[in-house]
Chain A
Amino acid sequence: MKLDNIYQEEKKSNFAKVSEIIITMASRPSGFIGLSILIFHVVLAFISPYIAPYDFKAINPTLMLQAPSAEYWFGTDDLGRDVFTRTILGGRTALTITFFGSLIALLWGGLLGIFCGLVGGKTDDVVMRIVDAFLSIPWILAMLLIVSLLGTSTEVLIPALGFFYGKGIVRVARAATHDVIAKDFIVSARARGHSNFSIIWNEIIPNVRDSILVEGAMRWSWMLLGFSSLSFLGFGVSPPTPDWGLMISNARGLMSFAYWSVIAPIVGLSSLIIGINLTADAFAKALGIDRSTKAPV
């Protein structure tokens, strides 16, 4: 048999697939900017403890509210702590907690959504009504309740955030599953008598994985904002741990005469959120999920 040139696309290794996706993402300006910001923040989170010029909790009353200078790049706050040090350290907790939080959200939301989409019927009805009920609860109030009952430790925050941000993923995963479920390859697997688990694992997940991952990436940025809001309200991490939400909350009263102590954490937080958003968009486009702007060729 003759081989047509166009078919000579061999099976690629996973590494090759991932690097191809990243290259496609970086080839768009928005994707490049998003990826750069995200990578910058992640790298900073890893190395900041080693490059921080000062001790983040060293209080020095004589240095209160110093304007930015060669010595203190971003100035000092109302307790005389170096704002630069606190800003570069401030993303660490938020990034870590929300990263693991979104993983949990992705896992339970995605799996439950796929399961509901597959089995349908009464189970689906009941589960979705419960999810709807949770969606109607203002998450921040519920979070405040959980945090005040169980404390603000990481072990509480990660699962709690993961739970509240997973609800939305259930719907997305279920909708994506519905698209696939009517296809004949699922019918075929059913007729052969495969178990639900096998159908989910082999037939559905490979086909809905992309849209769930993109959704998860978007949730990450929302969760980051949510987590910072908690800190801002005083229910996130506890002082003196440097955290953007906390820093903004502390310094907001001094905005009129010491703008530097509030601007730095704001720029840190919003740039990270924008970075994640742009990356998620580029990720979706690289996977071909958003076809509106792409020619079918």
Chain B
Amino acid sequence: MTEIIQKVKNLSIGFKSKKGEEILILRNITTNVKKGETVGIVGESGSGKSTLALAMMGYVKHGLYTIGGECEFNSSNLLKMKNRDLEKIRGRKIAMIPQNAGQALTPNLKIGYQIDEALQLHSDLKEEEREQKISELLNKVRLPSPETIALRYPHELSGGQQQRVAVAMALAGTPDLLLLDEPTTGLDVTTQAHVLELLNFIAKDTGTSMVYVSHDLGAIAQVSDRIIVMYSGEIVLEGPSRDILKKPIHPYTYGLLKSIPKLSLAGLPQSMPGSQPQPGTMHRGCSFFDRCNFSEEKCKNNSPQLEYLEELNTSVRCFNYKSLMNDNQVNQTVNKIKTSLQDKEILNLSEVSISYARQKLLDQVLNRISDDNPTVKDININIKKGETIALVGESGSGKSTILKSIAGLLRTKGGIIKFDQDRNLSSDLKERDPNDLRIIQLIFQNPDESLNPNHTVEEIIAQPLKLYFGLKGEELKKNIIDLLQKVRLGEFYMSRYPRQLSGGEKQRVAVARAFAAKPDIILCDEVTSALDVSVQAAVLNLLQQLKEDFGTTYIFVSHDLAVVRAISDRVAVLYQGRLCEVGPSKDVYQFPSHPYTEVLLGAVLEPDPDIKPKLVAEDIVEEKPPQKGCSFQGRCSRILGDICKNEVPPWQITNSGNSIRCHIPLKELQKDQIN
């Protein structure tokens, strides 16, 4: 049996509420980490997964305290240790890789200096040895030309490179245990796949144990040997990675896996009702009782214990796990999308270009924008009434920029945006008449920011109703209640403030506010990416339902190709503000496709240990679109030569009506992609 290096025994961590009640964040956690093993801790926000990971390095957040239990590392309890002793362990024995490396690195110190600092603290190397070690470490995390990287400042690196530097710093002390707290969450899909691959390599190469904390089952599936599923401060399921992902025997994991949209399946995944209970609200019974499809009467009053099943090497906290053991596959049932497509075109974008360039004085005086290489260029899309079109691409691809221009928040440099074929939408918000503003409504990514924290739900939804329809008194109230019911929220939500709502509820309020204007087009800017997976499916289903009821057109921006696949009729792939591929979603997800689409599709992480991401292109980041030629030339693995560098590629149309903008003939494009 392999050696256990970290033992967590009956750990409970919590805080005292204002009323003096003890509120538990972690409840009686017992687990361990073996040598050379990667353990994935997965759970929704608020499940206590980060608190557990931090406790493993003897750290308890300010305001929280240990109520009971211990975290044993090298047979000493970290939670009882003095700070001085902990300092010797942290960095040398246990290292941490933070979520946002960009914020974790000191902005005014060179990368090499920061790694050297870590080496000085956590190793006994001499100066000459350290120099060599720095390039060795940077090499290990596969950063190009370590000598030049070491001389750069953090802001000169891309997000993925910063994350690699953070990994290098963590490895400086050759730790026995690496704690990773959502290390890839803020990164682009392609970068994320590369970083995960690197972590896998490091785990094998150095034999370091890892604890990988994430909300993303797709990422967890790629790295971990063992998975711990947490819910409401408890471990509900723990076992070998493959078994948990293929045959989850806890209803929560089962539902979670079902609610994740997958590339291979078009249509909306099933949603899980309700949301995780807040800490301190659970008193008796199973914490998952309200949302469980398998619950019985006894689950209401008796809390199940974590039960170890010898034959599966799995621990489960459920009375009814046997009924799930027989139903041994995650048979994903999806709600098929009814398309409500009409032939009428509702929005035409022709030759739209948008520039962020700073205006010169002369241009300012003449009130024009001059920029020969704008951020977004040549956008031609015709959107039909009742359609859901998705704009996909990495960060910096200009997808949100286009949304802003459609909403009138950003002036276009050139081109025309037409509504209903005859109404020209002015590029300036102030020149649009109120009705033009009403027909296009926005839903934002983060409902925490899009709802005024000082307004009640009633006031929030009342705003568009008052502004566009001048409603007052009883009628206003009736309309608000009506809208709340449409987004499946009760009347009693009217007097709540956003801070009293959960993430999913907040997003529903934002959806209700958008629909209050009775718009024709709704722009959805990453509407589900700030939400937990189980809530995401519910919001997607709600949007689909509302679309069927109102015949609204959605323009959906997302970086998540699986979500896009689930909801959209048509997909437009963008790179550096230029269109690469436009087509019906079922065709875009099949080959032949644009080399960039291929890269994106290859990098999607599925919650399945057998589906590994394909890393086609380098994860370098380009800051500016190229002056001429194809926008993807810098990263394309199939570049033909000068033609790609000099000439803008032509649109090629496949048999199924999918337009691809590439110099490579369709037949050849397909050749390699099929495998």
Chain A residues close to B by CB (< 8 Å):
1-7, 9-11, 183-185, 187-194, 202-203, 206-207, 295-297
Query: Residue B281 at the A interface, CB < 8 A?
Result: yes
How many Å lie between the Cα of A38 and that of B101 in the bound state? 48
> In the complex where A183-B449, A203-B452, A295-B62 touch, is A191 in contact with B442 (Cβ < 8 A)?
yes
A6 contacts B463, C-beta separation under 8 Å: no
A10 contacts B495, C-beta separation under 8 Å: yes
The A-contacting residues of B in range 249-303, CB under 8 angstroms, are 274, 277-278, 280-281, 290
The A-contacting residues of B in range 111-144, CB under 8 angstroms, are none
How many Å lie between the Cα of A65 and that of B363 in the bound state? 75
Looking across the interface, which residue of chain B has its beta carbon closest to that of A194? B467
The residue that B463 contacts in the complex, of A10, A184, A202, A295, with Cβ under 8 A, is A202
Looking across the interface, which residue of chain B has its beta carbon closest to that of A186? B452
B56-70 interface code vs A (CB 8 A; 1 in, 0 out): 000000111000000
The A-contacting residues of B in range 95-118, CB under 8 angstroms, are none
B437 contacts A5, C-beta separation under 8 Å: no
Expressed in whole angstroms, the minimum distance between the Cβ of B222 and any Cβ of chain A is 32
Chain B residues close to A by CB (< 8 Å):
15, 17, 62-64, 274, 277-278, 280-281, 290, 407-409, 429, 432, 434, 437-438, 440-442, 444-446, 449-456, 463-464, 467-468, 489-490, 492, 495-497, 500-501, 513, 517
A188 contacts B450, C-beta separation under 8 Å: yes
**Residues in B neighbouring A183, C-beta threshold 8 A:** 449-450
What are 26 contact pairs spanning A and B, CB under 8 A? Answer: A1-B489, A3-B492, A4-B278, A5-B280, A6-B278, A10-B495, A11-B495, A183-B449, A183-B450, A185-B449, A185-B451, A187-B450, A191-B409, A191-B440, A191-B442, A192-B437, A192-B438, A192-B441, A192-B467, A192-B468, A193-B429, A193-B438, A193-B467, A194-B463, A194-B467, A297-B63
A192 contacts B463, C-beta separation under 8 Å: yes
B277 contacts A4, C-beta separation under 8 Å: yes
How many Å lie between the Cα of A188 and that of B501 in the bound state? 19
How many Å lie between the Cα of A129 and that of B281 in the bound state? 54
How many Å lie between the Cα of A256 and that of B129 in the bound state? 73
A192 contacts B517, C-beta separation under 8 Å: yes
How many Å lie between the Cα of A5 and that of B463 in the bound state? 29
**Residues in A neighbouring B408, C-beta threshold 8 A:** 191
**Residues in B neighbouring A6, C-beta threshold 8 A:** 278, 280-281
**Residues in B neighbouring A10, C-beta threshold 8 A:** 495
Main secondary structure of the interface of B (DSSP, over half): loop
Expressed in whole angstroms, the minimum distance between the Cβ of A161 and any Cβ of chain B is 31
A191 contacts B437, C-beta separation under 8 Å: yes
A7 contacts B500, C-beta separation under 8 Å: yes
How many Å lie between the Cα of A184 and that of B447 in the bound state? 8
Expressed in whole angstroms, the minimum distance between the Cβ of B275 and any Cβ of chain A is 9
**Residues in A neighbouring B464, C-beta threshold 8 A:** 192
Expressed in whole angstroms, the minimum distance between the Cβ of B630 and any Cβ of chain A is 33
B463 contacts A1, C-beta separation under 8 Å: no
How many Å lie between the Cα of A10 and that of B455 in the bound state? 13
How many Å lie between the Cα of A28 and that of B104 in the bound state? 35
A193 contacts B280, C-beta separation under 8 Å: no
Looking across the interface, which residue of chain B has its beta carbon closest to that of A193? B437
How many Å lie between the Cα of A7 and that of B281 in the bound state? 10
**Residues in A neighbouring B62, C-beta threshold 8 A:** 295-296
B290 contacts A2, C-beta separation under 8 Å: yes
Expressed in whole angstroms, the minimum distance between the Cβ of A259 and any Cβ of chain B is 49
**Residues in A neighbouring B456, C-beta threshold 8 A:** 11
Looking across the interface, which residue of chain A has its beta carbon closest to that of B442? A191
Expressed in whole angstroms, the minimum distance between the Cβ of B30 and any Cβ of chain A is 26
**Residues in B neighbouring A194, C-beta threshold 8 A:** 463, 467
Expressed in whole angstroms, the minimum distance between the Cβ of B20 and any Cβ of chain A is 12
Looking across the interface, which residue of chain B has its beta carbon closest to that of A185? B452
- Given A11-B496, A297-B17, 20 other A-B residues pairs in contact with their CB atoms under 8 A: A1-B490, A2-B290, A5-B281, A6-B280, A7-B496, A9-B500, A183-B450, A184-B450, A185-B451, A188-B442, A191-B408, A191-B409, A192-B441, A192-B467, A193-B429, A193-B434, A194-B463, A202-B455, A206-B454, A297-B63
**Residues in A neighbouring B407, C-beta threshold 8 A:** 191
**Residues in B neighbouring A296, C-beta threshold 8 A:** 62-63
Looking across the interface, which residue of chain A has its beta carbon closest to that of B429? A190
> In the complex where A4-B277, A6-B278, A11-B495 touch, is A190 in contact with B455 (Cβ < 8 A)?
no
The residue that A189 contacts in the complex, of B15, B438, B463, with Cβ under 8 A, is B463
Expressed in whole angstroms, the minimum distance between the Cβ of B225 and any Cβ of chain A is 34
Looking across the interface, which residue of chain A has its beta carbon closest to that of B468? A192
**Residues in A neighbouring B438, C-beta threshold 8 A:** 192-193
Expressed in whole angstroms, the minimum distance between the Cβ of B504 and any Cβ of chain A is 12
How many Å lie between the Cα of A11 and that of B409 in the bound state? 34
Looking across the interface, which residue of chain B has its beta carbon closest to that of A5? B281
A188 contacts B444, C-beta separation under 8 Å: yes
**Residues in A neighbouring B450, C-beta threshold 8 A:** 183-185, 187-188
**Residues in B neighbouring A202, C-beta threshold 8 A:** 452, 455, 463
How many Å lie between the Cα of A188 and that of B445 in the bound state? 12
How many Å lie between the Cα of A158 and that of B658 in the bound state? 72
How many Å lie between the Cα of A184 and that of B514 in the bound state? 13
How many Å lie between the Cα of A187 and that of B513 in the bound state? 14
A206 contacts B432, C-beta separation under 8 Å: no
**Residues in B neighbouring A190, C-beta threshold 8 A:** 409, 429
**Residues in A neighbouring B463, C-beta threshold 8 A:** 189, 192, 194, 202
How many Å lie between the Cα of A3 and that of B275 in the bound state? 12
**Residues in B neighbouring A192, C-beta threshold 8 A:** 437-438, 441, 463-464, 467-468, 517
How many Å lie between the Cα of A203 and that of B452 in the bound state? 7
A193 contacts B444, C-beta separation under 8 Å: no
How many Å lie between the Cα of A192 and that of B515 in the bound state? 12
**Residues in A neighbouring B467, C-beta threshold 8 A:** 192-194
Expressed in whole angstroms, the minimum distance between the Cβ of A124 and any Cβ of chain B is 15
B15 contacts A297, C-beta separation under 8 Å: yes
Looking across the interface, which residue of chain B has its beta carbon closest to that of A210? B454
**Residues in A neighbouring B281, C-beta threshold 8 A:** 4-6
**Residues in B neighbouring A207, C-beta threshold 8 A:** 452-454
How many Å lie between the Cα of A4 and that of B452 in the bound state? 22
Task: List the 4 closest A-B pairs by CB distance, nearest first.
Answer: A295-B63, A206-B454, A184-B450, A193-B437
Looking across the interface, which residue of chain A has its beta carbon closest to that of B18? A297
Expressed in whole angstroms, the minimum distance between the Cβ of A41 and any Cβ of chain B is 32
Looking across the interface, which residue of chain B has its beta carbon closest to that of A209? B454
- The listed residue with most B CB atoms (<10 A of its CB), out of A4, A192, A202, A203, is A192
**Residues in A neighbouring B429, C-beta threshold 8 A:** 190-191, 193
Expressed in whole angstroms, the minimum distance between the Cβ of A208 and any Cβ of chain B is 10
A187 contacts B409, C-beta separation under 8 Å: yes
**Residues in B neighbouring A187, C-beta threshold 8 A:** 409, 442, 444, 450
Looking across the interface, which residue of chain A has its beta carbon closest to that of B408? A191
How many Å lie between the Cα of A3 and that of B409 in the bound state? 38
How many Å lie between the Cα of A189 and that of B450 in the bound state? 9
How many Å lie between the Cα of A191 and that of B10 in the bound state? 52
**Residues in B neighbouring A189, C-beta threshold 8 A:** 463
**Residues in A neighbouring B490, C-beta threshold 8 A:** 1
**Residues in B neighbouring A2, C-beta threshold 8 A:** 274, 290
How many Å lie between the Cα of A4 and that of B409 in the bound state? 38
B277 contacts A206, C-beta separation under 8 Å: no
How many Å lie between the Cα of A194 and that of B452 in the bound state? 15
Expressed in whole angstroms, the minimum distance between the Cβ of A134 and any Cβ of chain B is 27
> In the complex where A191-B437, A296-B63 touch, is A206 in contact with B452 (Cβ < 8 A)?
yes
Expressed in whole angstroms, the minimum distance between the Cβ of A202 and any Cβ of chain B is 7
Expressed in whole angstroms, the minimum distance between the Cβ of A9 and any Cβ of chain B is 6
How many Å lie between the Cα of A11 and that of B458 in the bound state? 11
How many Å lie between the Cα of A78 and that of B411 in the bound state? 74
Expressed in whole angstroms, the minimum distance between the Cβ of B253 and any Cβ of chain A is 23
**Residues in A neighbouring B513, C-beta threshold 8 A:** 188
Expressed in whole angstroms, the minimum distance between the Cβ of A78 and any Cβ of chain B is 56
How many Å lie between the Cα of A189 and that of B490 in the bound state? 25
**Residues in B neighbouring A1, C-beta threshold 8 A:** 489-490
How many Å lie between the Cα of A7 and that of B502 in the bound state? 10
**Residues in B neighbouring A203, C-beta threshold 8 A:** 452
How many Å lie between the Cα of A187 and that of B441 in the bound state? 11
How many Å lie between the Cα of A202 and that of B453 in the bound state? 11
Expressed in whole angstroms, the minimum distance between the Cβ of B424 and any Cβ of chain A is 17
